[in-house]
Amino acid sequence: MQLTRGLDVGATEAVQQQLLKERERGAGIVYIFTELEEFMTMSDRIAVMYRGEFVSVLDANNTTIEEIGLLMAGSKN
């Protein structure tokens, strides 16, 4: 499911802002993204799965889209 699929830019931003507001209140949010750029801006930590198993949990502020992509493809490093 894509939470913001079909929404216009303003509605997408409103949804994202509400999620960030809840995060600031201390809520834990599990959000499965299909767009790498979107989760880079919305996440504190990123858990990467490969073949149904978690292979890494990364700090979103200290990682790159390339690193995430490699892990998603099965790279060990």
> How is the chain split into domains, by residue range?
9-72
The answer to whether 57 and 47 are in contact (CB under 8 A) is: yes
Residues sharing a CB contact under 8 Å with residue 9, sequence separation 6 or more, in sequence order: none
The whole-number pLDDT of residue 73 equals: 93
Give the mean pLDDT of 25-41: 79
pTM above 0.85, yes or no: no
Give the mean pLDDT of 22-46: 82
The whole-number pLDDT of residue 43 equals: 84
Place of tokens 């060990």: 76
- For the segment 4-31, what is each residue's pLDDT rounded down to a tens digit? 778 899 998 898 899 889 988 998 888 7
Backbone angles phi, psi at 44, to 5 degrees: -90, -45
The whole-number pLDDT of residue 38 equals: 75
Mean of per-residue pLDDT scores for the chain: 86
